[in-house]
Amino acid sequence: MAETTTTRQPGGPGKAIPDDPIAALLTADGVLTAEGERQAAISDERLRELYRLMVLCRRLDTEGLNLQRQGELGLWGPIAGHEAIQVAAARALAPTDWIFPYYRDFAMAVCRGIEPGLAMTWFRGLTHGAWSPQEHRFGPLIISVGTQVPHAVGFALGCKLDHDETAVLVSFGEGATSSGDWHEAMNFAGVFQAPIIFLCENNQWAISVPMAEEVAGRVAARAAGYGFPGVRIDGTDALTVYAIVRAAADRARRGEGPYLIEALTYRIGPHTTSDDPTRYRAEADFAPWREKDPIARCAAHLRARAAFDDAFAQATEREAEEAAAAMRQTLLNAAPAHPGTVFDLVFANPPDSLRRERDEFLAALEPGGTP
């Protein structure tokens, strides 16, 4: 599963870059070697935090599915199978780093301190922007496949030009790697050495299209064509995801350019609540992946360290249940956002033309904010 690429120095026919030290931390199956785990020096406390957040986000995900089936949400995209990727990647970054997510990255939003019930209002259709990207350093969830990738690269280049030691992470599914936006962003990042981590959450399915019909070869191998390293990792192992994303972010902040991580997992549930996966795949397709449950694997790591017991597991489950109930209550009590808020998150410093448009719009509203 681990795969490194040999790249060349940007700007000409320079000599080959030495073997990627990040990829050297991995076994052939894309998990940390014993030496890699030693170098990563991830504490028991941090690993327990990853476990707790994964349990919490899985319970919130289940509640999201329940809410949609009960008619309280217009749509929900289940995250089952993605917990290790999303939680570990988000927590591996510095608080000052930025994340540009795609539509399934609800767990990343939670890890960035966005209140779950507030985030849910987006899926209920109550708001166009449920949080401030600037406050959380977390962009909006993007439905249009792949369009967040060039946004993230442009932002990362801006950080570089401002001499701001910030790493930017952009996430996407493997289906997005077949889009033109993705390839253009990869090329631009490679040419200008943007401080960005490309994180592919490869769950094997682009809605009903299997991986074999999406990509010829491996996603990670494509990095070489754009002049920077790429690696495939086991996306069901939180310890590995955390260590590799943290190393890639450190690399980006040092000015060493982009890095592509293909994190392999499996989409256990439907693409969204509008999808019926039984029409295009069989139980046998994903039965082996149930044995690689991200939460169970994290618990196994903790047991091996003598850092897991029933009291911790039960306390985590109670916290998750309480969080799910609070999220539901927040969502059901939420009112639609004022129509004028659609202007608030467009520019940090709105141009005069937008200000005039906003003022004209607000003046045309009925009392109470009705258009």
Residue closest to 147 by CA, chosen among 180, 174, 106: 180
User: DSSP letter at 122?
Assistant: H
Provide the pLDDT for residue 60: 98
Separation between Cα atoms, residue 25 and residue 91, nearest integer Å: 19
| DSSP code string of 126-187 | S-S-SS-HHHHTB-----STTTHHHHHHHHHHHHHHTT----EEEEEEGGGGGSHHHHHHHH
The pLDDT assigned to 68 comes to 97
Q: Is the distance from CB of 42 to CB of 239 less than 8 angstroms?
A: yes
Separation of alpha carbons 98 and 134, rounded Å: 9
pLDDT tops 50 at residue 5: no
Distance between CA 291 and CA 355 in Å, rounded? 55
DSSP letter at 26 equals B
For residue 283, count other CB atoms closer than 10 A to its CB: 8
221 is written with which tokens?
A: 């191998």
pLDDT tens digit string along 28-44? 999 999 999 999 999 99
* pLDDT, tens digit (0-9, with 9 covering 90-100), for 340-371: 888 988 888 999 999 999 999 999 988 766 65
Residue 244 has pLDDT above 90, yes or no: yes
Measured CA to CA, the distance from residue 289 to residue 71 in angstroms comes to 30
Tens digits of residue pLDDT in 43-80: 999 999 999 999 999 999 999 999 999 999 999 999 99
Cβ atoms of residues 49 and 257 within 8 Å:
no
89-92-97-102 Cα dihedral, nearest 10 degrees: 10
Considering the chain, what is the average pLDDT of its residues?
92
- The one-letter amino acid code at 114 reads I
Distance CA 152, CA 100 (A): 6
Using DSSP, state whether 8 is helix, strand or coil: strand
The residue-averaged pLDDT of 152-181 equals 97
Average pLDDT over residues 237-257: 97
DSSP 261: E
pLDDT of the residue at 370: 60
Q: Which domains does the chain have, with CATH numbers?
A: 23-336 (3.40.50.970), 338-371 (no CATH)
What are 314-334's pLDDT values in tens digits?
999 999 999 999 999 999 999
Tokens 């969080």 belong to: 323
Contact in structure between 176 and 207 (CB atoms under 8 Å): no
Which residues are catalytic, by number? 267, 271, 280
**Phi/psi at 208 (nearest 5 deg)?**
-100, 5
Mean pLDDT over residues 86-106, rounded? Answer: 97
* Whole-number percent of the chain with pLDDT over 70: 94
Average pLDDT over every residue of 177-202:
97
Computed on alpha carbons and rounded to an integer, the radius of gyration of the chain in Å comes to: 21
In degrees, rounded to 5, the angle at the alpha carbon of residue 139 between the alpha carbons of residues 137 and 141 is 145
Instruction: Give the three-state DSSP class for 100.
Output: strand
What pLDDT does residue 18 have? 46
Q: How confident is the model at residue 15 (pLDDT cuts 50, 70, 90)?
A: very low
